Structures are given as structure tokens and as C-alpha cells.
Amino acid sequence: MPKEVVPEEKRRRRRPTKSGTVLSERLIVEAALRMLREHGSAGLTARRLGLALDCDASTLYRYFRGMDDLTLAIGDALIGQALLGWEPTGNWRADVRDIGLRIHAAYVAHPQAALLTANRVTGRPHELAADEAVLDVLRGAGFPLTDTVRIYHAFIDQTLAFAALDSASLALPSASQRADDDRWSSTYGRLPPTTHPRIAEAAPLLTTRMLTSAYPTALELLLDGAAGRLETVTGARPAAG
């Protein structure tokens, strides 16, 4: 059976670590994010985390039921970073766009953590707040419930999929990143129109465009489709912004 997690208020009464640090869930998650950034997911273990926090590894299980529980907390922390300071403006399209770009940016800022958590459902407070915000914005704009859920589903999966894809590129060794980027000009940019007419035609654009994330473009296409659907069901003109 999983160990019982000690309530936060009881944890705070416990003695500090040898270095004088009073542990908290937030502190452990921050240390885990640093460890992921420096060593990747393979380097994140209870033993190493305990060493980094100057505590016995078993102490971590007063805060988390196991490493998988910690993984969910890390994912929720990334969403919390994305939502920090966000407020709805009343323009549904601008608000959904802002949430999407914030979530994507928060994940790619921690690529190793993104690869570990982007496909997880945490059920934790920040994730719930993000879901509630997107659903509320869409419902407030006048989308029927069925369309709201369909658009939300496509939006959040698209956001996290691009976060994982872009993070996977960022997590590559720098030499591999440069090689992948250079291939657009060294290979695609040199193909002759006699054998690859469409690639040759698009090469000047491909060699620059493909070095950036397609997420903003994909998001705009999704929002275009959502705006068209809203106009169909309500007669409302597409929102600007």
C-alpha cells in the first residue's frame, strides 16, 4: 500500500535538514526541476534528490507517495508557472491564445521536465485551474457545451504535443541540434527542381521557417476553426485579437 502523505502543516513542524533547510513540497519540486535540467530524467532518483536536499531519501515520502507522485507535482508546477499573473480580458480568442502560449513556453523552458510530464494528467490544483479557465472562456464566448469540450480537447492536446515535440529538440545534445538545423539548408536547400520541384520551390522559406516552432501557427489555425464554428452556431462575428 502507498504510504500516507503527511499534511503540509504537520511537515512544517518537523526538524530542518542538516543544512538548516525546512522541507516543503515546493522546495522538493524546485530541486527536482534543477536535477532534471542538469541530468535528465534518468538522473532524477529519490537518493540523488535526498542528497541534493541534504536529507534522507525516505523523508521525501512524507511529501509524495512515490516518484510518480513527484512527477505529477512537477507537471502541475509547470502549469502553475504558466498561469502566474494570467487574467482574462474578455476577448475569448486572445485569452485562449495567451493561455496556450504561456503553457507552451513554461514547458519548453524546462525541456527535460516537459518530456517527463507533458503526457500526464495530474488532477492537481494548477492543472484544474487551467482547465477551468479555458472551459470558462469558451463557454463565456457562447460556444455550446459539446463544441466547448471538443475545442478544449484539441487545444490542450495540441499545446502539450508541441511542448513535448519542441522540448525533445531542445533536450538533444547541442551538436545534434545544430546538425538537424543545418540539414534544412545542406540537404533540403540543395535539392534540384528536376527531382524535387516542390521542395526546391519552398526551400528559401523552409530553411528559415523550419528552425522555429510551428505551435503559434497551429494555434492560430485552431482558433480560426473555432471562430468559424462560433459564427455558425451563434451568428456572432469572429473575435478580433
**CATH code: domain of residue 222:** 1.10.357.10
- pLDDT at site 12: 42
- Asked if residue 71 belongs to a domain, the reply is no
- pLDDT at site 22: 81
- pLDDT at site 18: 58
In whole angstroms, give the CA distance from residue 41 to residue 35: 8
Under 8 Å CB-to-CB from 170, ≥6 apart: which residues? Answer: 108, 111, 177
**CATH code: domain of residue 60:** 1.10.10
- The SS3 assignment for 87 reads coil
- pLDDT at site 1: 40
Phi-psi region of 196 (alpha: psi -120 to 50; beta: other; left: phi over 0): beta
- pLDDT at site 4: 54
- Asked if residue 149 belongs to a domain, the reply is yes
Segment 68-108, tens digit of pLDDT? 999 999 999 999 999 999 999 999 999 999 999 999 999 99
- Asked if residue 26 belongs to a domain, the reply is yes
Same domain, 127 and 209: yes
Phi-psi region of 123 (alpha: psi -120 to 50; beta: other; left: phi over 0): left
Instruction: Split the chain (241 residues) into runs of 10 and give each run's mean pLDDT.
Output: 51 54 89 93 91 89 93 97 96 98 97 96 97 98 97 98 97 95 96 97 96 97 97 74 65
Same domain, 25 and 123: no
Residues 120 and 79: beta-carbon distance below 8 Å: no
- Asked if residue 240 belongs to a domain, the reply is no
> How many domains would you assign to the chain?
2
Residue 155's alpha-carbon distances to 96, 120, 123, in angstroms, are 9, 16, 18
- pLDDT at site 23: 87
Same domain, 96 and 35: no
Same domain, 201 and 133: yes
Full residue range of the structural domain in which residue 19 is found? 8-65
Same domain, 133 and 228: yes
Residues 168 and 115: beta-carbon distance below 8 Å: yes
